[in-house]
A and B are shown apart, each in its own frame.
Chain A
Amino acid sequence: MPLSAQGGEVTSEDRILSDDITGAKILIADDDPLCRQLVAGVLRQQKFTRLEFADGGRSALEQVRSFRPDLILLDMQMPDLNGLDVCGQLRADPDFADVPILLQTATVDRKKMGELFCGGASDFLSKPVNPSELIARVVAHIERWNSLRELRFYRERISRELEAARRMQFELLPEPAALQEAAHALGLRIASYNRPSSELGGDLWGVLPIDDGSFGIFLADFTGHGVNAALNTFRLHALIHEYKELHGDPGALVSMLNERLVRLLRIGQFATFLYVVVDHQKGEIRFASAGAPPAILVQGTAARARLCDTSSLPLGIERGVQYLTSKRRFPAGSLLLLFSDGLPEFPNAKGRRIGDKGLVTALNACPAGLTPKEVIDQLCAAAGITATSPLPDDTTIVCLDRRIAPRATPCDDGRAVRTPAAKQVPTNLSNGAQ
């Protein structure tokens, strides 16, 4: 018999509760068996079936840990441990910090009601038991709990998937130690910095072995960041390796990548791309750029840093663009710096950006003899980037130099390395990028 038949009150019987609600596990803790029976009877009438009981505060604590309820109904006054104490102990346990706890109390004292909420209760139930109030509050809190739990599961799943994607993307990048070792054998030193602005980034860089005397190095930056941009880095990575025969010809490779990406990318998506062939045998670099920030080149130990002009359209915007190959000398003692726009456009504490020219100035101010890693550290410091700075954009920096003598340079184990010209570009120079 619905309450609405008796004085116009609306009862929860008017509403059919879903299985998500009635399947909730509810613990009823009360030292009075008749009160437990009454509350259970009201809940069972609404099709709640997963009910467990505790006859005191201590048994409630034990039951909570074994039964792991979705909602707890606690009588305020129980002889061994009162409801508020049980509530406090449960809230101190991270496993039950959020579980809905409804305290049953006969009090109407405002101060005591306040204490109840301060003590961690999610809500109260008045005594004598009012069945409609009991159902309404139980349903509201289970709905909230279910939503919270679904949201948490969803967030955890997304986090796990993003982490897996981040690891996969990280694996596309050259492995630093192997790269360092391989570069060292060629009379080069190389260091890199790569930090996405969120879990996944739109920057990608890599090294491509070409022949005995040269190798390629590329740096791409897709529009935006996050999942879209990251997925595009995987596409680009696959495309780059599809055109192995073009790796020695920067203009041809960049032109081909543009043709492919124009067809793949959605409107509004594009990538800046810089590809440099480092010909350490000839002592030159050949490069082509698709709208990338200019590389910075220092041609010899006594030279000043300068920007390599790279103005052109980014990849994926227009069909038929022919990208040209430029050439610069890269004698012993030279240094090459590639970076994505996250570096020059990083807003420092005062909101100022260092810009391309600021980077040139900072590079010229670097003391002589710094390793590429130290150069990167100096430039990050000059731009205001610290290890803990949140980055508004994905940031990649690659620094390469020919400032070590190629011959008779001791390796870590003390042996001299062979002449770079005589040594194959090791496959691990592009470890992870093949």
Chain B
Amino acid sequence: MIAAHDQPLLDQDQLDLLRAALDPGALRAMLAQLPAAAADALAAITAALAAGDLDGARKAAHVLKGSCSSLGAARLAEIARDIELDRATTAEMAACLPLLSETIEATADALSRVVERA
């Protein structure tokens, strides 16, 4: 988890690339959807772990990693990557979930400011 903390909450370079390439309205809509999509992924990982489905949890983490990294949510992407690739057991994965939940909230907050500015 130390690696995740090292990541900035948002990847400003990636957000700049997106601003340059996307219609502002489309970008705002996508950024606004990200927290809900992340919350869905958290729910999916939680459910998979409850069912002992490690593979299902990894897949949900993989999807979360993809959208978060592409939309500039760097820390969320790193936590998702950690769950997908570095955690071997249900317990290890489950241990990541509080931080994941907390980071979703912080990211949502940061993104709402980005969306307001956009």
Contact = CB atoms under 8 A, between A and B. Distances in A.
Contact of B70 (A6, A13, A129): A129
Interface string A27-39: 0001111110110
Contacts of B65: 106
Contacts of B23: 41, 44-45
A34 B30 contact: yes
A139 B45 CA distance: 37
A131 B13 CA distance: 12
Interface string B9-35: 001001011111111001101100110
A400 to B, nearest CB: 78
A131 B18 contact: yes
Given A1-B20, A3-B20, A38 B59 contact: no
Contact of B14 (A42, A77, A128, A132): A128
Please classify how large the interface on chain A is, using the bins under 10, 10 to 19, 20 to 34, 35 or more: 20 to 34
A245 to B, nearest CB: 80
B117 to A, nearest CB: 13
Contacts of A79: 59
A130 interface: yes
A11 interface: yes
A349 to B, nearest CB: 62
Contacts of B18: 38, 131
Contacts of A45: 21-23, 26
Given A32-B63, A34-B30, A34-B34, A127 B70 contact: yes
Interface string B66-79: 11011110000100
B33 A34 contact: yes
B105 to A, nearest CB: 18
Contact of A38 (B11, B20, B63, B70): B70
Contacts of A2: 20
A38 B30 contact: yes
A92 to B, nearest CB: 26
Contacts of B94: none
Contacts of B77: 128
B22 to A, nearest CB: 5
Contacts of B16: 3, 6
Nearest to A30: B66
A38 B20 CA distance: 13
B48 interface: no
Contacts of A41: 22-23, 26-27, 30
Given A3-B17, A13-B20, A128-B69, 6 more contacts: A3-B20, A33-B37, A34-B33, A38-B67, A128-B66, A130-B17
Interface of B: 11, 14, 16-23, 26-27, 29-30, 33-34, 37, 59, 62-63, 65-67, 69-72, 77
